Structure formats: structure tokens, C-alpha cells
Structure 1
């Protein structure tokens, strides 16, 4: 029976902008910087301010699309090793979230892990989340960080610091060509 959270019904959103933000964070951490430079944060804030409400919604949908894509890649990788993506990824993700209380307030951890579980079971994370109303401010930071953690997990598995970003960029290029 089809689900109202089926990915074919989900808006893709602004995946390019979401990927740019995640890639920026990956490079920042890889360079050993744990804090965002004030000028970089000002540029991010300025960019987000120019988006307007519809643009912000597109960015959120794009981040959820990244979570879906990353989780589907992890699902395929786990299947090759007779592992379950939820069993393999979610406990590590939750443990990492719990170690980051400034980024993941305890009350948003179930929502962020729920996004991954939704994607891992073939549902759209953004449609799954929309059932519960508007995004909250703490969830916005958690959403970006969840996409980041999944991308970093993929990069570690592949031993390639740019694999996750390249995978999505290649998929976007193929979609544009079609």
C-alpha cells in the first residue's frame, strides 16, 4: 500500500545549497576548525536571510533530500554485507548526537534519528517530518548536523573525504542531463 510519505511525492528542494553548506562544514572540520569563522558565519547568515520563507523551505527540503540520498547509499552498502542500515547507522548516529549537546538538544535527537529511520525504510524524511508541524529552531541546526554526520560516515567508510559530496554532485549532474 502506498504511503503518503513516499519519496515520489516529496519536494526535492534546493539540494545544491544544502550540499554547499554540508560540504563547507566537512572541509571546516577536516581542516581542524571546530568553530565557524565569524566572517563565514556572517556570510551564511546573509545568504539565508536572502532566501525568504520559500527559499528556507527549499533549503530544508534539500537537506532532507541529502539525508535520504545518504541513507539510501548506506542502505545499499549495508545490504552488500547482510547488515541492516537502521541497526548499523542509527545507534552510532544517536551516540554521536548525545556527545554534541550544543548542537543536538536531547529533545530533538528522536526527530533527527527518525529522519534517518524514515529514509532507511524508504520514506521521505521531509514528508515524514511534516506530519508533526513546522520545524523548530533547534531542529534546523540538528537537520544540518544530521546530514553532515551521515556524509562524514560515508566518507569514513569509503576512506575518501569527498565521496559523499561527489556522489550527490554526480547524481545532480545526471539529473540535469536527463
Structure 2
């Protein structure tokens, strides 16, 4: 019996834009220049002002797809070492989010942990979240932080130059376009 939260039932969304956003956040965090990049901030503001509600929904679905893809990769990685992905990822994710109260309010942490647990169990995080109503404005930054933190977790495991997770998704998108 299939679940209503089966990823086959979920919209993929605008994964390209979602990965671009995550990649730019990773680059900003690992930049040699301290503080926020004003040029990046202006581009983000321009982008936000230019998207329609439907396009924003597509980016939101894309972010959920990224969370699913990242957790699928992490699940396979941890299972190869006889470890449970949820046990390995969720406590670290929650602890990190608790240290980010400006970006992730405490009341958003259970929802973000639920998204990751759903994805870790092979369910669509977006469809899992949809069971509880519409997304709220207060969940947008925590959703971005969740995808960012999962990408950073993958990058640490891959012992990469902070680009492995985004490169993995970008390469997959490129191969889909070429097929």
C-alpha cells in the first residue's frame, strides 16, 4: 500500500532555483569576506520581488525536493555503514537550529525535524507538511536553513570543498536535461 506522502505524488518544483539559493548561502558562509554580501542581498531582494506566488510555490516545492534528495543520499551513506540516518542527522540538525534563533524560531524546529524525518523514511517532505495546512511565512527561512544544513552535512561527510551537495544535484539536473 502506498502512502499519500509518496514522493511519486509530489511536485518536483523549481529545483534549479532552490539549489542556486542554497549554493549561494553556502558560498556566503564560506567566503573570506566577513559579513553579508550586499550584492548578493540586492540580487535576493530583486529575485523575491520578481516572482509570482506560483513561482514562489515552485521554489518551495524545489526546496522540499532538495531535502528529499539530500536525505536519500544521507540514508544510503549511513546505511552503508550500518547506521540509522534519522539517528545520525536529526539530533545534530535540531541542535544546530536551536543555536539559530534569529533564523529558526523554536516553534519551527519540530516542523523542520518532521520534514527531515519524513524524507529519511522515504516520504515527500512537502506532502508530509501539506497534511497540516498551508506553509506559513515564518517557515520559509527555517526551510531554507534545513536544506542548507543538510547540504553542509553532506559536504562534511564527502570531505569536499563545500560544493559536493550542490554539485551532486546540479550534475543530476544537467544529465536530465541532456537525456
1:154 corresponding residue in structure 2: 154
Q: Which 5+ residue runs of structure 1 have no aligned equivalent?
A: none
1:67 corresponding residue in structure 2: 67
Q: CA separation in 2, counterparts of 1:164 and 1:78? A: 16
1:88 corresponding residue in structure 2: 88
Q: Which moved more, 1:132-141 or 1:102-111?
A: 132-141
Aligned positions, number? 178
Q: CA separation in 2, counterparts of 1:53 and 1:32? A: 35
* Aligned-pair CA distance for 1:54: 0.3
Structure 2 counterpart SS, 1:166: helix
* Aligned-pair CA distance for 1:28: 0.6
Q: Which moved more, 1:150-159 or 1:25-34?
A: 25-34
Give 1:25-174 correspondences, 5 Å limit: 25-32=25-32, 35-160=35-160, 161-174=162-175
Q: Deviations over 1:54-108 (max 9, x none)?
A: 0000000000000000000000000001001100000000000001111110000
Structure 2 counterpart SS, 1:26: helix
Q: Which 5+ residue runs of structure 2 have no aligned equivalent?
A: none
Compared CA separation, residues 32 and 106, structure 1 to 2 (3 A): farther
Compared CA separation, residues 34 and 85, structure 1 to 2 (3 A): farther
Structure 2 counterpart SS, 1:100: coil
Root-mean-square deviation (Å): 1.2
Normalising by structure 2, report the TM-score. 0.95
Q: Which 4+ runs in 1 deviate beyond 4 A?
A: 32-35
